[in-house]
Amino acid sequence: MFVDECVIKVQAGDGGRGCVSFRREKYEPWGGPNGGDGGRGGDVVLVGDDDTNNLIDCRFRPHWKAAHGGHGRGKDCNGREGRSVLLKLPLGTVVINAETGQAVAEVVEDSQRIVLCKGGNGGWGNTRFKSSTHRAPRHANPGQPGERGTYRLILKSIADVGLVGFPNAGKSSLITRLTQARPRIAPYPFTTLQPQIGVIEYAEDSSNQHRLQIADIPGLIGGASENRGLGHRFLRHIERCRLLLLLLDMAGSDGRDPRDDYATLRRELELYDPALLKKPRLVVANKMDLAGAAANLAKFRRRHRLKIIGVSCVTGIGLPELRNELLKRVQVLRAREKKSPSPRV
């Protein structure tokens, strides 16, 4: 089961109470105050985890509570600190406050730690209140309550290249040819039901290796904005990609015209978010090994004056050119982002 959205309730630990106590020993009947402080409550901490790509843990465990701090005790003993609770989240998780609707955090790096709710401070024991004029204070502070809240988690995968295409266009076949990822491939639509991320490795030389991530999402069809097919649900996983790869079945093997497919894909992207159309994109014509594909490509080129790379995932033609083109474009985009960094949300 793939879960990319869920709601959690979190509660940090309360601080422990301070203690009121006085030193009483043999021959020392009126010793001073010696009440210890309460301990801090534990925090709720989000931790980026590169090994998960799913929010399923949070779906089945929606309540996360950190431990309360221990109460202070006599003989100047401070309470213990409450243990923090660590929530491992996949990279690309956006945390939204469910009450205000505001994004409060975003997990983007492996092992990144974000304190979502802070534990309450422990209360002071009566030792803290003694002074030259107040030598036997009989009060202590209660601990402060820990922060708590309800948050919506939304996973938006992070990849360099996002694959968009009709069902059966060959998206999973392409990712299988280019990377080590092994999504299911079958001659019927909607084989892929959840996003898959693969890594393309380029061994330039032994000291300088480049890699880029490519995301395969379930296919789009006309009317996806009205929830036809799997709808627009998975488009959030390509929202942050640097480059969109529009993959077309140039042989029209499902009886459609690739030129109509291209128009439909663009319209669906625009209906989801017009910003997606402004993203750099590369059009790739697949299934060039089949009869009719070359003629269709010529017609397509006549209508759209774009750079189109023709490939076949069966024979492998065009794939080396595609690999190089992807690296070249992503490197340019990365360099541009470095110059003027802007959030890829």
Ligand X SMILES: Nc1nc2c(ncn2[C@@H]2O[C@H](COP(=O)(O)OP(=O)(O)OP(=O)(O)O)[C@@H](O)[C@H]2O)c(=O)[nH]1
Contact footprint for Mg ion (CB under 5 A): 172, 191-192
Residue 169 interacts with, from ligand X, Mg ion, none (CB under 5-8 Å by kind): ligand X
Candidates 142, 289, 319, 325: give the one binding ligand X (CB under 6 A). 289
Phi-psi region of 216 (alpha: psi -120 to 50; beta: other; left: phi over 0): beta
Residue 290 interacts with, from Mg ion, ligand X, none (CB under 5-8 Å by kind): ligand X
Q: How far is CA 286 from the centre of its chain?
A: 30
- Which amino acid, residue 6? C
User: Looking at 4-12, 16-24, 150-158, 310-318, which segment touches ligand X (CB under 6 A)?
Assistant: 310-318
- According to DSSP, the residues that pair with 86 across neighbouring strands are 45
Candidates 92, 170, 229, 258: give the one binding ligand X (CB under 6 A). 170
Label residue 131 exposed, middle or buried (CB < 10 Å: 0-12, 13-18, 19+): exposed
User: Does 229 engage in binding with ligand X (CB under 6 A)?
Assistant: no
User: Looking at 134-142, 186-194, 203-211, 272-280, which segment touches ligand X (CB under 6 A)?
Assistant: 186-194
Shortest Å, Cβ 10 to Mg ion: 36
285 and 306 Cβ atoms separated by less than 8 Å = no
Cα angle for residues 295, 176, 224 (degrees, 5° grid): 65
CA distance 280 to 160: 11
User: Does 240 engage in binding with ligand X (CB under 6 A)?
Assistant: no
Taking the least distance from each CB to ligand X, the nearer of 82 and 219 is: 219
Shortest Å, Cβ 327 to ligand X: 21
CA distance 3 to 92: 13
User: Looking at 3-11, 52-60, 67-75, 163-171, which segment touches ligand X (CB under 6 A)?
Assistant: 163-171
Candidates 312, 322, 327, 330: give the one binding ligand X (CB under 6 A). 312
Residue identified by tokens 């490795």 is 201
- According to DSSP, the residues that pair with 248 across neighbouring strands are 285
> 3-class SS at 193?
coil
151 and 101 Cβ atoms separated by less than 8 Å = no
User: Does 195 engage in binding with ligand X (CB under 6 A)?
Assistant: no
Residues 97, 100, 101, 107, Cα dihedral to 10°:
-30
Segment 114 to 153, residues that bind ligand X, using CB under 6 A: none
- 129 secondary structure, DSSP code: G
List CB contacts of 213: < 8 A, sequence separation 6 or more.
Answer: 158, 159, 160, 161, 197, 198, 199, 200
Candidates 126, 127, 173, 296: give the one binding ligand X (CB under 6 A). 173
User: Looking at 112-120, 123-131, 153-161, 283-291, which segment touches ligand X (CB under 6 A)?
Assistant: 283-291
Supply φ then ψ for residue 295, to 5 degrees: -65, -40
User: Does 168 engage in binding with ligand X (CB under 6 A)?
Assistant: yes
Candidates 96, 169, 221, 241: give the one binding ligand X (CB under 6 A). 169
- 306 secondary structure, DSSP code: S
Shortest Å, Cβ 242 to Mg ion: 22
Taking the least distance from each CB to Mg ion, the nearer of 49 and 216 is: 216
- According to DSSP, the residues that pair with 28 across neighbouring strands are 25
Candidates 219, 252, 310, 318: give the one binding ligand X (CB under 6 A). 219
Shortest Å, Cβ 267 to ligand X: 18
* Contacts with ligand X, residue ranges (CB under 6 A): 165, 167-173, 185-187, 189-192, 218-219, 286-287, 289-290, 312-314
